[in-house]
Structure 1
């Protein structure tokens, strides 16, 4: 209780905050719901605190989740009017939850990128087949007799003594790591598997290798962005618009000489991501976050949008000024403060 009171006192000093909520299961498959708050403290340092992780055996419907989260904020003395947004995954139940509570929702970039990549490969038979090839190879080398033969083959072929990696279904990056390791060890894998007639058919052929290389060429550059946009020690929302622009113009841009499969994967990922971030409410949040960063300012918006954002920024800054003077005990009347409605640029 002492810890909760200390945290509650700290977070209630903030004017605005954002949160993220997540549903997950333990290793013993017990369901939980977590709520984390993000805010700037009195020393202008970004803080994140997990407010609660609660056992959640109820049916995970939008209505039930909405009620749980709606009750959670007041239990910490927080008002939802001070909540800028809540970050969640793209599950239909979480989307409905925030709609019912009328809270601004920001989809988790890492989750959306995972879905974009999954969808870019799910309807392509070659990709499904070769993912299966990789998994069967890794499974085969998990048996002790194959493990014993691998190091000698690696040593003979001057390959790194690395073990193969099995993918995790919830992480597209782990699938990429699995394929990358199979490509690295392809000669050793073929050497070991071809020596046994029972496993000879499992060795990747040249067509499999071509598909692996196409996938790597399309998706490998995206790994660092997932890590960069999942940080808690810095504000990551302001990078979204620049990153999406970078995806479209450079990272996922089709290049001359690329295989058609690589181009198709890139195009599907870009189309999905841009479709998910065209929601007006989300775009407004991202535009303001980008505008307030001096490195980006008006780089990723039209002239018309810039005028609108400047007026809104000035209005919000004035509201903060009024609010801060009240908190500090300065009860001057609002009409004695500089009027900025007609001169919004003074705060920018």
Structure 2
């Protein structure tokens, strides 16, 4: 039972009813609606007794075990094929050979049910929130060359706490035109019944996203006589400024980038580096990951002694080796601007 100050909710059937300080109502409910579980509880047994072959699990216990496995798959983001793996099955067979595990198809079906339940609960929660929402769009291409669009929404609840949640993430095939971005944003908002409750949208500076926001603003003006405020992402603007600024120090960056590329280009070089550095990582700059260039320079700076050892051994040449001054220049600049390794 899940209690609050005036009501109790059954965890098995979600029945909600009033209760006093006694447990009479709960006992009557369990005895009349869930007699098998009530009898089991009366005998003092629990779901843990099903493990190590102590007894055959009851249907609701078998269901709970499979639900816990489903939660495990969601939390760890591992493949559904894990369920069909003989080593995975052996664990539960050892614990209790009578446990019936769901197959991959049943797991997927129940995953859809869990998603739909969570989605409906979120829609109900948002409908109970009377204020407006702001949204942020994000479009990117993954390593497998598939494109995605995510919609994050933001609001302040009644306790003045800022809430940020990913509303949806969906595959977004080309073309990524302003028209298509506008359509997919409206589609996602309609799916969550939020289309008429949006105050503002934050977006990056790509011409297609700027165009999409202009179309959304026209839509809200014509359909709801509302102003949709559009804001360009400040962090993205700063990142673009930093990229342009780094062009002024191209020569100083050249050797740092070359040594990192060299270490990551061959297992031979990386093995030699790990042998002298104690396996300390050298980070690779990723253009879509903000601040990664600074983190790359910082990792080189911390491991400069190991890199110089490789030079002395003749494993890497001096022509591509940065000097301590090269790294110190950027570290000093970053420190003066308040940047740190955790930014």
- TM-score, with structure 1 as normaliser: 0.55
Q: CA deviation at 1:30?
A: 0.9
Greater relative contact order structure (CA < 8 Å, 6+ sep): 1
2:295 aligned counterpart, secondary structure: helix
Change (3 A) 1:12 1:109: same
- Distance in 2, matches of 1:195 and 1:22, equals 47
Residue pair 2:186, 2:195 contacting (<8 A) in 1 also? no
Question: Partners in 1 of 2:145 and 2:315 — Cα distance?
Answer: 40
Aligned to 2:257: 135
- Per-residue displacement from partner, 1:288-331 (whole Å, max 9, x unpaired)? xxxxxxxxxxxxxxxxxxxxxxxxxxxxxxxxxxxxxxxxxxxx
- How far apart are the structure 1 equivalents of 2:151 and 2:325? 44
1:119 matches 2:244: yes
From 74, 92, 100, give the equivalent of 2:207.
92
Q: TM-score, normalised by structure 2?
A: 0.55
The answer for the alignment partner of 1:170 in structure 2 is 288
CA contact (8 A) 1:87 1:108 kept: yes
Specify the SS of the correspondent of 1:23.
Answer: strand
Q: 2:120 aligned with 1:5, yes or no?
A: yes
| Aligned length, in residue pairs | 215
| In 1: Cα distance, 2:317 partner to 2:340 partner | 36
Mark the CA change 1:150 to 1:36 in structure 2 (over 3 Å): closer, same or farther. closer
The unaligned stretches of length 5 or more in structure 1 are 155-159, 228-348
Counterpart CA distance in 2 for 1:152 and 1:58 is 46
Where 1:54 maps in the other structure, the secondary structure is strand
Structure 1 residues 96-148: Cα deviation after superposition (integer angstroms, max 9, x where no partner):
211221131222232222111001122x2xx2233331122123334444444
Structure 2 match to 1:233: none
Q: Are 2:308 and 1:190 equivalent residues in the alignment?
A: yes
Distance in 1 between residues matched to 2:303 and 2:186, nearest whole Å:
52
Q: CA RMSD in A?
A: 2.7
The answer on whether the counterparts of 2:253 and 2:326 sit within 8 Å (CA) in structure 1 is no
Q: Tell me the equivalent position of 2:192.
A: 76
Mapped to 2, the partners of 1:93 and 1:67 lie a distance apart of: 13
| Alpha-carbon distance change, 136 to 190 in structure 1, aligned in 2, over 3 angstroms | same
Q: Report the equivalent of 1:218.
A: 333
